[in-house]
Amino acid sequence: MKKLAIAATFAVGAALLAAPAVDARTKLTGEEKLAKMLEGREAGKPVNCIPYSQTQNTTVIDKTAIVYRVGSTLYVNRPTNVDRLDDDDVMVTKLYTSQLCHLDTVQLHDRTAGFMWNGFVGLNDFVPYRKVASNN
């Protein structure tokens, strides 16, 4: 009976130690996260600017892209210095017009270090992704 209890304890301990390894293997890359976000959507012709006042949501995908939601359209921007993108950073954008345009820059500030400056990214063209119409 004592051997069975020791074996059961060992099995539970081994399972708990293995759990983080399973989570680490299932973590999605930035490209995989972006692909999942864009499922059921089709890319349109890239545009230079988007109306900033109509932007409802902004999502940063680590080291990959910034996704802006305008209505039901997702605009994907793959900026320069993309390796600086971190979803933990706070983005500070200075606008010179009512639109967000390619060539604009976005400052990155580390929220965990008292908003210390953490670099910048330069925006490129915005690729619109719209939902594909179903044939039902």
Question: Model confidence over 20-72: pLDDT tens digits?
Answer: 555 556 889 999 999 999 999 999 999 999 999 999 999 999 999 999 999 99
Residues in a beta bridge with 98:
none
**Total domain count for the chain?**
1
The mean pLDDT of the chain is 85
pLDDT at 116: 86
**Is 107 contained in some domain?**
yes
Residue 108 lies in a domain: yes
- Does residue 111 lie in a domain region? yes
* CA distance readout (Å), 53 to 80, 95, 96, 99: 23, 11, 13, 8
Pair 129, 36: CB distance under 8 Å? no
Residue 51 lies in a domain: yes
Look up residue 88 and give its two tokens: 């933990």
Dihedral pair phi/psi, residue 97, rounded to 5°: -140, -175
Instruction: Please report which confidence band the pLDDT of residue 17 belongs to, taking 50, 70 and 90 as the band edges.
Output: low
What range does the domain containing 82 cover?
30-131
pTM attached to this predicted model: 0.78
Q: Is residue 4 part of a domain?
A: no
120: in domain: yes
Q: Decide if 2 is inside a domain.
A: no
In a domain, 25, yes or no: no
For residue 111, the model assigns a pLDDT of 85
